[in-house]
Every structure is written in structure tokens, then in C-alpha cells.
Structure 1
Amino acid sequence: MASTIPLASSLLRATLDTLRRQAPFADMDETDLMWTAERLSVAYFPQEAALVEADGQPPAYLFIVKQGVVEGEAPDAQGVRLLQLTDGEMFPLGALLAGRAVANRYVAAADTFCYRLPAADFHTLLGRSRAFSDFCTRRIASLLEQSLRAVQSEYALALDDENRFSRPVRSLIRQAPVAVLPETPLAEALAAIDAARVGSVVVNDPHGHPVGILTLKDVLRRVTLAGIPLTTAISSVMTPNPATLEGGATVADALLVMARQGVHHLPLVEDGRLVGVISEKDVFTLRRLSMEGITGAIARADDPAALPMLAHAIGELAHNLLAQGMNAENLTAILSSLNDKLTQRVIELEVCAAHLPDVPWCWLALGSEGRMEQTLATDQDNALIYRAATAEERAALLAFAERVNHRLAACGFPLCKGEIMASNPKWCQSLDEWRATFANWIHRADAPALLHATVFFDFRPLYGAQELSEELRDWLNATAWENRLFLKRMAENALANRPPLGLVRDFVTAAGGAQAHTLDLKINGVTPFVDVARIFALYAGVNASSTVARLRATARAWNLAPDEVEAWVAAFHFIQLLRLRRQHTAQTHGDAPGNRIDPEQLNALDRRILKEAFRQARKLQAVMARYFEY
């Protein structure tokens, strides 16, 4: 039984203060907020008391959790709890909006206090307040917009050039330093400078500690004009005991050292060992870059060695767009588009430098690149498909692919640890061989085959004879559709990865070790959406490769409710946004970008949206389960 308490004037003031701190009330007009508060009552529910029964009747109230925990359980699931609601969350919105009975039974998991708004007043408020109506009809999208505004405010200062000088100087390192030993002949040292296309070489002792430096400007005065033979040891002409700086120092510190020492190149050290070299040019190129400017620079690049700097510029642009509040859908699309152009230019330059056989071939992007969902931390997943080739022609294509893979690695796309790359003979195949490989996986439907399918079935043509990719996609869709058992195995495998929502706590996180109290936004968050969208696309014969395009195309094919689909899309994009923000923060501090977060470190708004996003993932999985009768 619930006991109800009308709101006295002091409680009314406290209620207003509480509502103003949470969505959607924070965006409502003051008159609408007061109108709402005056119509609320407070109800107490002891642990295990039912707040709303799934009894076939439309709900009488909108509930807002004031304090405590409310759990939803399916009436026919023998007490299995499906969702958890905590302070500030409202329910049952869907039933109230549709004027239908609730699908779940709502139970107090602990002693709980809720605000209650009568159903008639709820509908009146929908008409009174645009902010309230917008939130209720597009709940997660509305929350996401609030989060984007918060991100924009949080990162605003990071866009100022003055603040850029407070970043760690190690973040300016573009490539491995060129270093030689003191006894190295000048000819060898200068050749190393030329090969790396840099302006200096550091002279290290055998322990990796810098003992000297030689710049190209030094070469003109000390070597060329002085007539020093190139067989001379570099130690004879180097600048001894160069100024150095710890990698954790700021960019401003680097500028100060350069000014005081009158130098233009500065070796960076960690524990006394050389880790990189920066120049004045590196510091003063910290400027905002446009997408058009980067695209033009990529198109004009005529040397692969110039592309790593442009890859870094793409990351800088992504950071700036994130700081300006760009949503994850547009940001990942821009990032993927620019990375596409960079990869295409790498391939073009290698094609010009190589003597490739006259065989139609196509470079395929796989995985997140194939879905155009790359973030700031991504390795290579690619393959090569060709019409037909002799053993000699195939060897030439493999050698070409290896050069491309290594050029991309130099641009900041690490070689795939699982060797899912075009340079691997297993993934450089003819169209007929790819069909046979895919057919084998579909027929087997075992764990390794399903794992391969999650990467390779997201292929997309990136360069070359696009018709080869299109033929393979058409064949795959037709073959998968005819093999429902394979799709069912894929669905079973996908359902094993449940979004990490907890009952005792909001989220299920890692229990111990270095990853204690964290969850993986890629595996636990993004992957459930990606897996279902892939299965839906194969089941519906959709050719799209991106997760959102697959969901929307499938929704049109199957007449799924548009609002429901857009809630899935918004949830997917919010998790992508969290990944981007996590990776951006790591890179700003000179750390390796990753996907793990401690949800307790998120602000209240983002924790709330993340919970809702995981709920949407569970709803999407439930839709898939119904299609495959789980």
C-alpha cells in the first residue's frame, strides 16, 4: 500500500528545487513548472510494494522517482526484473502517451518515494509545455541534446589557442625520432634525415640518452660550407649536450626553452631516454583546420611521407568538432570520410609507384571502417578482392597490399593484431574465393565463423573496381537469406552480449584488476546495436553497411515504428559520443585512447542517458529475439 502526502508550501519549494535540476523540468517555463509542482503529490512505497500493476488498465499517474529504486518486471517472467529506475526518472511514459495498459509491473526494490502526477494533468501538461512534450515523445533524443550542450560548454575553453599551450608537449610528437650513435658517418645520418623527411637527427649514447643534435641548418654551415667529408663521424659536427624537455611538460614550456636557448628543434625525453623531437613548426601549426583544407591537402600530397601529418590534422579537426558540440552521427561520418580520402590517397600513390598486373581489383574496408563508424582509436581491418589472377599476379597484389598497410600504419592506423589485412594471403582473394570462404562460414555457423562474420560481412568498397564488392554483397545477401539457421546462430551469439544493466547497481562493471568498476563502451555498448543491425540487414536483404542505415532501411522494409527506431539510433549515437569523448580526453593527456569508462565518473545526466541507451539496446535485442523465436 502507498501512503500519499499532499505538497505543503515548504515541500512545494523543495520540489521546485529538485525538479529544476533534472530533465525535462530544467528546460520548462517557470509558470509551467509551478503548475506542475502544484499538482504533484508524494507517495511512499515500502520495499516489494507494487506501484503499477500490469492489469490491463491504463495507468492513473505519471511517476517521478524522488528517492529509492523502482524495478520493472514482466508479468509472465516469474519475477525476473527487466529494468531499474532511480532518482529523477519517470514512468510509464509509453503507456500514458498511448493511453494503453503498461507492459511491465513496477515494483519498489527498496523503500521508495515518488512524485505522482494524475494522468489527466499529464496530458494537459503535454499541451502546455513544449519542453515537456518534446522530452516525453523523444526522450533519449532530448536527453542527448542536453548532453551535447554540456559537452559544448565543457570543451569551449579547449578551442582557445592560449589554452592549447597548456597541453602536454608529448602530444605534438608526429613520428618516431631519427637517432644515431656518435660514431655514425655523416652520410648515413643525412640519409636517415632524408628518408624520414625531418629537419634534425638526434645523437644518442648506447643507452638512448641524447648527447647531441644536428639540424639541416647546421649541415649547411658546419658540413657543406666547411667542406667536411661525409665519412666524418657525426659527433665532430653535432651540437653537444642539447636542451631537452620531459614529455609531460607543456607546450608553453617548450616555447620558453626554445626562446631561451635559441633553438628550433627540441628533443623530448622520458626518464632520460629519447622519445621524440618537436620543432617550432609543430607548435605554431596548432590551428583550427577545416574539412575542405584537409581534403585539399590530401589530394595535393604527392609523397606518402607527407600523409602522417595530415592524419594528425584529421584527429585535431575531430577534437575541435567534438568541442563545438557536433553529434556523434555527423562526427563519425566526417572522420570516416576523411580517413577514407587519406587511405585512398595512400593507395593512389602506391599504385603510381608500383607495376600492378592488369587485373580488376578492389580494396575493401571492413569492421568499423566498413561501417563508416571509426572513432579516434581504430586499427586496420581491410581486404582485397580481384576478378581472377595468376599466382604471379596475386603475389604482386599481396606485395602492393603490404606496402599500403605499412603506409597506413605510419599514418596512425595500427596494423591489425589479428592480421585482418589485405597483405594477409588469407584475405587477398578472388571473387570466387571470397564466395567460397563466406559460404563455408555460413554452412559451419560455429564460433570462429560467427566471429569472422562480424568483421568481414561489414565490407565496403574503398578503391578500385567497385562492381566486385557489389557482386559479392548481392551474393551474400541472397545466400544468407536462404540459410535461416545461420542467421539464427548469429542472433543467438548476439543475444549472449547483454547490455550491462544491473539490478543492485545501475551498471554491471568489471569486478577486479586494472579494469575494476569499468565497462567497455565498444563491446558492452556499441556492439549490441551493430550485431542486431547486421543480422537485420542480412535478413531483410539490405545492402547498407553502416549500423544506422541498416536499422532505418530494415525499419522501412518491415514497417517498424519510426519513433522506436529513432530511439535505437539516438541510443547508439550517444554511446559513440561517450567513446569519442573518452578517447579525446585520453589523447589530450597524452594517453592511449580506449573504450573503457567508470560510469560512476560520469555526471548525473550522462549516467542517466547511458542507462536509457542500454535499455534501448535491450529493446532492440528483444525485437530480434521475437523474429528468431527466442
Structure 2
Amino acid sequence: MSISANNSYASLREWKDENISFHYSDPFRLNEFHDQTMKKVFELALERIKPQQPPCEFSWFITGSGGRFEQGPISDQDHGLIYEISNEVNDDYFIRLGKELAYGLNEVGYPYCQGNVMSSNPLWCKSLESWKQQLLAWMEEASWETVRNLQIFYDARNLQGNELFVHELKDVIYFYQKEHPSLLKRFMENVMHVKNAVGPLGQFIVEEHGINEGAINLKYTAFLPYVNAVRLLAIKEGIYDTSTLERIEQLVRLNGYGAAMRESKKHFLDLLIYRSSLYQSKTYDDTHFLKVKKLSRVEKKEIKQILKDGKRLHHYVSELILHEWR
């Protein structure tokens, strides 16, 4: 059964479950598969609401690991809607579409976002002008929550519709932070903490209780140090691509970053491959845990290098931002 033959969420879920394992070994093919599946969800969602054609131009974007093209075998949903013009008809249409998209993604196997970053939430479903006003309000408030929302939005990648809308909104963030450099400091303060996974004697620091006992949490000890540090430099330099690897490549080409970033690209790619190996995980949370006892001696050495480089990169970026702000 081809994806084009799926005309219901249930049949699309069946197709997804039958085919996703063919892409486990390649993180790039895996993310192309997720994109393909979510685009089909969008088509089905349009068919289920009336009228079927959107009343104006729009962008449906995904964010989080999906926006960064870094999803694992199991992924939740993070997405939003931007539409061209706000009026009663358009506002009603797109919030209904947003609710249908969130429902459809959940039915197909992408669980609801616990943080409510979904098109069904009016905070993430707005007209282009309302989005601009909201981004400015978030930056002016610069609280922990609003800075977190800005970080989430900066990972937005257009999946359907007009990709220029996302680009235009990232312009708002970039030019504001150029005029208000203290905002970068607030971004850094939001992600200062890095969970240690390697002790002072070189030993792994693993989970001590529960079903993940003896495992390290790759999300918090490995992924986030790289993702947060590289995103911060991307905001600073006006890099709108969302993939951490692509952001690193662009930073390497800029004066001053090459020496600090080259090794990080290799280590982050290795990390994506290790995470793809967690294909037997049953839930989204389980996909973040790597059992240390199952690793070979060589793999343990590689993981430690990845973890140490992530912490080094995170420290490098924090020192850079804080030094420039002073």
C-alpha cells in the first residue's frame, strides 16, 4: 500500500508502522519519512474541514526535533500555523485546521505535545501580523517562558504553504537582538544548565532508578548542549536554517568559528546515528535513553567524546555571549 492510497488516519498509521523500520539506520531518510507522513496528515486534515481550500496564504511549520530534521524513530508533535490576514473567517478556519492537525497527528502516532506547542493552541496559530506582535512582546518580556517560546520558534521549518512567512518572522527576532544584545544573554541564561553524564574520573553517570536504570539520557546530556549552543550562535549570526548540522556548517564558514565547530559537526552526526539505534524503544521518552552496558568499549569511548565535546561547545558559546555582552 502506497502513502497516496491512505485516505484515513487509521490507514496512514498502519502504513507508517509497517514502513518506518526501513529508515531506522539513516537519520536523514528517517526524517524525510516523518516529513512525508506529516504532509499526508495535512492533506487528510484539509479534507475533513470545510471549506477544503484555505481562505488565504499560510504556513504550517513544525518545530522541535522535527523542525531541526532530527527526529528519532518515535517523535511527538510540535507545530504551528501562520496565516496571511486576520479576520473572523480566517481566524475560525485556521484554529479549526490546527485542532484537526493535532488530532490527526496523534491518531497517526505522533503524541500530543505536553508543552502544548501545537496549531490547536491559539498561541501557536496566528496571523502574520499577530505573530510579529507576539514575538516582539516575548522579546520585550524576556521571561524564562517567553525566551523558551522564542527558542522553540527559531527551530520552525515550513512544511506546507508559504515558507517566506517563517523567514519573515525570524527576521523580527534577528534584527531585534541586533539592537538589544542583552536578549542573547537571556537566551544563554535559559539554557545554562547542562546535565553531566561523565564524572570527574571518566565514569558514566547513569540513571539509578526506574525502567531506565543504568542508562544515560541522551536528550539532556548530549543533544541539548549541542542544539542550544548552536541555535544561539545561529540567532546571533542570522542563520535561519534549522538543522543543527546545517547551522554548524554555516558557522564553520564564518570567520572565528571554524576551530571551535569542526569537531562538533562529526560528533553531532555520530550522536544522531546512536540515537537512531534506539529503534526498539516503545515510547517517545524511551528513545532518549542509552543503556551503557550494551555499548562496546569503542562505543563507550565515542559516547564520552560526544558528551565532552557537547559540554565544551556549550561552555564556549556561553563564554562568548557573556563576554560580548559585558
> For 1:384, what is the secondary structure of its paired residue?
strand
Aligned residue in 1 for 2:30:
335
2:87 corresponds to 1:394? no
For residues 444-523 of structure 1, what are the structure 2 equivalents within 5 Å? 444-523=141-220
The 3 A distance-change label for structure 1 pair 307 and 596 is same
Look up the SS of the partner of 1:532 in the other structure. Answer: helix
Whichever structure has more helix as a proportion of its residues is 2
Separation in structure 2 between the aligned mates of residue 572 and residue 428 of structure 1, nearest angstrom: 32
1:254-333 paired onto structure 2 within 5 Å = 297-319=2-24, 322=25, 331-333=26-28
Instruction: Specify which of 301, 317, 325 is matched with residue 624 of structure 1.
Output: 317
Q: Is the 8 A contact 1:405 1:415 kept in 2?
A: yes
- Tell me if 1:566 matches 2:258: no
SS at 2:274 equivalent:
helix
Question: What secondary structure is seen at the aligned counterpart in 2 of 1:435?
Answer: helix
Q: 2:296 aligns with which of 596, 603, 612?
A: 603
Q: What one-letter code is carried by the residue in structure 2 that aligns with 1:531?
A: N
Aligned to 1:576: 272
**CA-to-aligned-CA distance 1:573-599 (integer Å, 9 cap, x gap):** 2222222212x1335xx9984312342
In 1, Cα distance between the equivalents of 2:19 and 2:189? 38
How many residues are matched? Answer: 321
1:585 and 2:280 matched: yes
Q: In 2 relative to 1, CA 426–627 (structure 1 residues): closer, same or farther, beyond 3 Å?
A: same
- Consecutive unaligned residues of structure 2, counting only runs of 5 or more, are none
Match of 2:306 among 613, 617, 624: 613
Per-residue CA deviation, residues 156-187 of structure 1 (Å, 9 max, x unaligned), is xxxxxxxxxxxxxxxxxxxxxxxxxxxxxxxx
Q: Is the 8 A contact 1:480 1:486 kept in 2?
A: yes
| In 2: Cα distance, 1:544 partner to 1:316 partner | 27
CA distance in 1, matches of 2:290, 2:47: 44
User: Percent identity at matched positions?
Assistant: 22
Q: Which amino acid aligns with 1:606?
A: E
Q: SS of the counterpart of 2:82?
A: strand
Measured against aligned partners, the alpha-carbon deviations of 1:180-225 in whole angstroms (never above 9, x if no partner) come to xxxxxxxxxxxxxxxxxxxxxxxxxxxxxxxxxxxxxxxxxxxxxx
- In the alignment, is the contact (CA less than 8 A) between 1:473 and 1:543 conserved in 2? yes
Matches within 5 A, 1:15-26: none
Partner of 1:159 in structure 2? none
Deviation at residue 466 of structure 1 after TM alignment? 2.0
Structure 2 CA distance for aligned equivalents of residues 426 and 594 of structure 1: 28
Q: CA contact under 8 A between 1:540 and 1:557: conserved in structure 2?
A: no
Q: Which residue of 1 aligns with 2:40?
A: 345
Report the Cα distance in structure 1 between the residues aligned to 2:213 and 2:286, rounded to whole angstroms.
18
Q: Could you tell me which amino acid in structure 1 is paired with residue 235 of structure 2? A: L
Shift of 1:513: 4.9
Once the two structures are superposed, residues 369-421 of structure 1 have per-residue CA deviations (whole angstroms, 9 ceiling, x without a partner) of: 11111111210000001111223321221112212222211211111122211
Please tell me the residue identity of whatever aligns with 1:565. M
SS in 1 for 2:81: strand
Q: CA deviation at 1:559?
A: 4.0
Which sections of structure 1, spanning at least 5 residues, go unmatched? Answer: 1-293, 323-330
> How far apart are residue 514 of structure 1 and its match?
4.9
Helix, strand or coil for the counterpart of 2:61?
Answer: strand
Residues 518, 340 of structure 1: CA spacing in aligned structure 2 closer, same or farther, 3 A cutoff? same
Q: Counterpart of 2:153 in structure 1: which amino acid?
A: F
1-side partners of 2:198 and 2:285: how far apart? 27
Q: TM (normalized to structure 2)?
A: 0.89
Q: CA deviation at 1:479?
A: 1.9
CA shift in 2, pair 1:566/1:336, >3 Å: same
Name the residue aligned to 1:377.
Answer: 74
Partner of 1:535: 232
Residue 122 of structure 2 corresponds to residue 417 of structure 1: no
Tell me the CA shift for residue 334 of structure 1.
1.5
Work out the CA distance in 2 between the residues paired with 1:623 and 1:378. Answer: 30
3-state DSSP class of the match of 1:594? helix
Does the aligned pair in 2 maintain the 1:481–1:538 contact within 8 Å?
no
1:185 paired residue number: none
Q: Which amino acid aligns with 1:574?
A: D
Contact 1:363 1:463 in 2 (8 A): yes
**CA displacement at 1:438 relative to structure 2:** 1.8
* C-alpha distance 595-559 of structure 1, shift in aligned 2 (>3 A): same
- Residues 540-569 of structure 1, C-alpha deviations (whole Å, 9 max, x = no match): 11111111111111221234336x523101
- Give the Å deviation of 1:346: 2.0
Q: In 2 relative to 1, CA 338–585 (structure 1 residues): closer, same or farther, beyond 3 Å? A: closer
How far off is 1:505 after superposition? 4.7
The answer as to whether partners of 1:315 and 1:376 remain within 8 angstroms in 2 is yes
Query: What is the TM-score of this pair, normalised by structure 1?
Result: 0.48
- The 2-side partners of 1:380 and 1:301 are apart by 20
Name the larger-Rg structure: 1
**Relative contact order: is structure 1 or structure 2 higher (C-alpha 8 Å, sep ≥ 6)?**
2
User: Residues 591 and 376 (structure 1 numbering): CA distance in 2 closer, same or farther, change over 3 Å?
Assistant: closer
**Match of 1:542, SS?**
coil
Tell me how far apart the structure 1 counterparts of residues 311 and 253 of structure 2 sit (CA, whole Å). Answer: 21
State the distance in 2 between where 1:503 and 1:313 align: 44
Equivalent-residue separation in structure 1 for 2:265 and 2:284 (angstroms): 30
**Structure with higher strand content:** 1
Q: Is the CA contact 1:365–1:462 (under 8 Å) kept in the aligned structure 2? A: yes
The one-letter amino acid paired with 1:342 is T
Q: Is the 8 A contact 2:59 2:162 kept in 1?
A: yes
Alignment of 1:69-218 (within 5 A): none
- Residues 59 and 165, structure 2, Cα contact 8 Å, conserved in 1: yes
Tell me, in whole angstroms, the C-alpha distance in 2 between the residues paired with 1:471 and 1:314. 36
| Superposed displacement of residue 300, structure 1 | 4.6
For 2:155 and 2:70, the matched residues in 1 are separated by 11
SS at match of 1:337: helix
